[in-house]
A and B are shown apart, each in its own frame.
Chain A
Amino acid sequence: MDWLKKVSKKPLFLPLVSVFLVLIINVVYDAIQGNYIFEFLKFELKEGALYGRIIDILNRGSEAAILAIGMTLVVSSSAGTDISVGSVMSLAGSLCCMLLAGFGVTHVREIGDLQMPIFVGVIAGIAVAGLCGLFNGFLVAKMKIQPMVATLIFFTAGRAIGLLLTNNKMVYIHLEQFKVFGGKLWIFPTPTVIAAACILIMTLILKTTSLGMYVQSVGINPKASRIAGINSVAIILLCYVICGLFSGVAGIVATSRIYSADSNNIGLNLELDAILAVALGGNSLGGGRFNLAGSIIGAYTIQAITTTMYALGVAKAQAPVYKAIIVILIVVVQSPAVKAYFAHRKAQKEGGLAVAGRS
């Protein structure tokens, strides 16, 4: 039992347990259905691409995972949430499609009809998302406006600007070269590869520079960090810009997945999934210490819950009910009061002084 105690102290323990719980539900379901009990773990090559429920979860959860990276930094540095990411995703996708097709054009079928190379459109989309992040960051870091209120502006306007850019229409880009971002790369689904690349880049940045430490220090106490010589304004600004850039990437992936700019639906409610991912990963929404791996596991947990529910035959409109119940259960298990209760019981058992107060 000693190793169990040691393992349960690790920060990633509870997020991982939640993933396993979701997977166990899958196993039980498969067993009841009389399928091979590890049905969901099975993957095969179909039409030159990997196929299976796990792959599907990894694929569909990519956008949320990419968003969760930026969101973790934002939450950690400014004790607030960026609720504009979903709208900014949609804006990035709309701008990209509009640039590729030209204003007012709704269909592109030939490579010759493109107004500009695909990579220009993609980079412009990501750049405009970065600008949105800069704007949010400016309001939060420089003007000292509460993050949720500052990002409320783009939450309201982002989607609407996207619709204005595409002249209130859907823009379709029927090109294999464009579909690749949401399609497959060799045998892997491209969104998964892009998500992995984003995670890798961010991890490298955090490991090789002291950005991670600065972010945590600013999140815990901006005044003290300023006195210690950290430019807290610049750090918070940078976090919001990174979050914006990542929402741009996620927006391009989501747009390419349906090869069209659907401003009304791209990234809808995804900001909530991203924030939820951060919380499920065991991060405090009050700022300070963060755990990137936890957030990413959290994002995939949410996707696993969603996919599992569809597999269980729950209708799309009713799925939120079960999602809410599962999320509450997971968070209750991770809550400080429950943790303190177990710590208290343990202390009583050992006969020592019960120091673990219930917060």
Chain B
Amino acid sequence: MNKKKNINSHSILLLITVGLFILLYAAGYFMYGFGANAKGFEKLQNFLDIFRTNAALICIACGMTCVMLTGGIDISVGSLVAMDCMILSVGMENSGISPSLLVPFVLLIGVVFGAVQGYLIGYLGIQPFIVTMAGMFFARGMTAMICTDQVNITVDNWFKQVAAVKVYMPFELGAVVNKRGVKMVPYVNIPVVIALVVVVLVFLMLRYTRTGRSMYAVGGNQQSAALMGLNTKRTKMITYILSSFLCSIGGVLYCMNTMCGTTTQALGLEMKAISSAVIGGTLLTGGVGNVFGSFVGVLINGTINSLVSFNGELTKLGGTVPNVVSAFLLFLFIMLQAVFAKLRERKQ
């Protein structure tokens, strides 16, 4: 009984999000999946491609969700990803360092970066927006300090080999025979697998560990949480460490997808992560939200991009049209959520 009540009061936004994702995907399916208009939207590979292009974003959105649960925000993630990619590519390409050393180093940087931000936010009580904005400036500037040019990874090592691995769907699910008669089995790559594992781990962490539940408590009402005996300062610090750590994992995955490092990489990724979490039903005020919702939020963002690129007319108008369309769809989602929330309020 208790579980049912829980679903009713907290998960309505998540249900809306999942419903809207299905609606959006169905719209794409009917527009570009049938008859003369069939362009491949109906194929399973198209669905999996949304995962492939957004594997890093899934990881980052998980961290962002945790931060937003505590009522904070982390806008340093995009720059941190750029810095990670730059370290990885410069390290491997120019300095010839083994990725077995570089990848742990990048993850360590994430932890240290998060610890500094977390200390300033949790223990010194500075607003998260300011601290992470400074973090954003710092990471972006460091990226330019390491190298100002684009560095492509061409060295053949395990990092490149892992990135090239294809994980095929079991039982040849959704396999298509192409014109040459070759059977094409849909696949994902290693980053997607890692991202999905991260989602499950963070979900379990938030639901079943003391730290995870403390995050909800701190975001819900910090004073009550402190009076209850929770160490709110430590919880906040842990949250930011987790966010930066997940972001570094995301950075490694991002680098696996792009195989290069530039100073303008992942610009605006933080906003994508925030909008994914918000579409997924996480409140910026804290206390309410779910990692699974953010995951679906990333998928919705990916579907929007996919829809815009499938529509030839929109892409013809110029590179900026997808931005307008995404913003308009974001607006629609937000309004729908607001209307649903108001209706629920009236019912109670």
- Chain A residues proximal to chain B, CB less than 8 Å: 81, 139, 143-146, 148-150, 152-157, 159-161, 163-164, 168, 272, 275-276, 279, 284-286, 315, 317-325, 327-328, 331-332, 335-338, 359
Partner pick for B142 among A149, A150, A321, CB 8 A cutoff:
A321
Residues of A within 8 A of B341 (CB): 144
Q: A325-B138, A328-B134 are in contact. Are A160 and B321 (CB under 8 A)?
A: yes
Complex interface residues of chain B between 127 and 165 (CB less than 8 A to chain A): 127, 129-131, 133-138, 140-142, 144-145, 148
B271 near A155: Cβ-Cβ < 8 Å: yes
B124 near A335: Cβ-Cβ < 8 Å: yes
Residues of A within 8 A of B326 (CB): 156
- Assembly CA distance A320 to B326 (angstroms): 29
Q: Which of B5-13, B24-32, B205-213, B327-335 lies at the binding interface?
A: B327-335
Q: A164-B321, A324-B135, A327-B137 are in contact. Are A152 and B130 (CB under 8 A)?
A: no
Q: A143-B338, A152-B330, A276-B133 are in contact. Are A164 and B126 (CB under 8 A)?
A: no
A156 near B327: Cβ-Cβ < 8 Å: yes
Q: Which of B55-63, B99-107, B278-286 lies at the binding interface?
A: B278-286
How many whole Å from A302's CB to the nearest CB in chain B?
11
How many whole Å from B27's CB to the nearest CB in chain A?
21
Partner pick for A152 among B129, B274, B321, B328, CB 8 A cutoff:
B274
Is there a chain A Cβ closer than 8 Å to B73's Cβ?
yes
- Assembly CA distance A315 to B263 (angstroms): 14
B283 near A146: Cβ-Cβ < 8 Å: yes
- Chain B residues proximal to chain A, CB less than 8 Å: 73, 120, 123-127, 129-131, 133-138, 140-142, 144-145, 148, 263, 271, 274-275, 278, 283-285, 317-318, 320-321, 323-324, 326-328, 330-331, 334-335, 338, 341
Residues of A within 8 A of B148 (CB): 317
B284 near A320: Cβ-Cβ < 8 Å: no
Q: A146-B285, A156-B323 are in contact. Are A317 and B130 (CB under 8 A)?
A: no
B324 near A164: Cβ-Cβ < 8 Å: yes
A331 near B323: Cβ-Cβ < 8 Å: no
Partner pick for B125 among A157, A276, A337, CB 8 A cutoff:
A337
- Could you show 27 A-B contacts with beta carbons less than 8 Å apart? A81-B129, A139-B334, A145-B338, A146-B283, A146-B284, A149-B274, A152-B327, A156-B330, A157-B323, A160-B323, A164-B324, A272-B136, A275-B130, A279-B129, A317-B144, A318-B141, A320-B140, A320-B141, A322-B141, A324-B137, A324-B138, A325-B138, A328-B131, A331-B120, A331-B130, A331-B134, A335-B120
Told that A285-B130, A324-B134 touch, could you supply 18 new A-B pairs with CB distance under 8 A? A81-B129, A148-B274, A149-B275, A152-B330, A156-B327, A156-B330, A157-B328, A160-B320, A317-B141, A321-B141, A323-B134, A323-B137, A324-B138, A325-B134, A325-B138, A335-B126, A336-B125, A337-B123
Q: Number of A-B pairs whose CB atoms are under 8 Å?
A: 134
How many whole Å from B315's CB to the nearest CB in chain A?
13
- Assembly CA distance A321 to B79 (angstroms): 12
A161 near B137: Cβ-Cβ < 8 Å: no
- Assembly CA distance A318 to B137 (angstroms): 9
B263 near A317: Cβ-Cβ < 8 Å: yes
B126 near A331: Cβ-Cβ < 8 Å: yes
Residues of A within 8 A of B140 (CB): 320
Residues of A within 8 A of B125 (CB): 335-337, 359
Residues of A within 8 A of B127 (CB): 279, 284-286
Residues of A within 8 A of B324 (CB): 156-157, 160-161, 164
- Assembly CA distance A152 to B276 (angstroms): 12
- Assembly CA distance A317 to B126 (angstroms): 26
- Assembly CA distance A145 to B283 (angstroms): 9
Partner pick for B320 among A168, A319, A359, CB 8 A cutoff:
A168
- Assembly CA distance A149 to B292 (angstroms): 19
- Assembly CA distance A157 to B133 (angstroms): 22
Residues of A within 8 A of B318 (CB): 163-164, 168
Of all chain B residues, the one with the shortest Cβ separation from A144 is B338
How many whole Å from A81's CB to the nearest CB in chain B?
7
Q: For B129, B136, B137, which residue has the most chain A Cβ atoms within 10 angstroms?
A: B137
Residues of B within 8 A of A164 (CB): 317-318, 320-321, 324
Residues of A within 8 A of B124 (CB): 332, 335-338
How many whole Å from A92's CB to the nearest CB in chain B?
17
Of all chain B residues, the one with the shortest Cβ separation from A328 is B134
Partner pick for A321 among B123, B137, B275, CB 8 A cutoff:
B137
- Assembly CA distance A284 to B127 (angstroms): 8
- Assembly CA distance A320 to B144 (angstroms): 9
- Assembly CA distance A18 to B318 (angstroms): 44
How many whole Å from A307's CB to the nearest CB in chain B?
16
- Assembly CA distance A323 to B274 (angstroms): 24
Residues of A within 8 A of B317 (CB): 164
Residues of B within 8 A of A322 (CB): 141
B133 near A153: Cβ-Cβ < 8 Å: no
Of all chain A residues, the one with the shortest Cβ separation from B330 is A153
- Assembly CA distance A68 to B36 (angstroms): 54
- Assembly CA distance A312 to B111 (angstroms): 32
Q: For B125, B131, B134, B324, which residue has the most chain A Cβ atoms within 10 angstroms?
A: B134
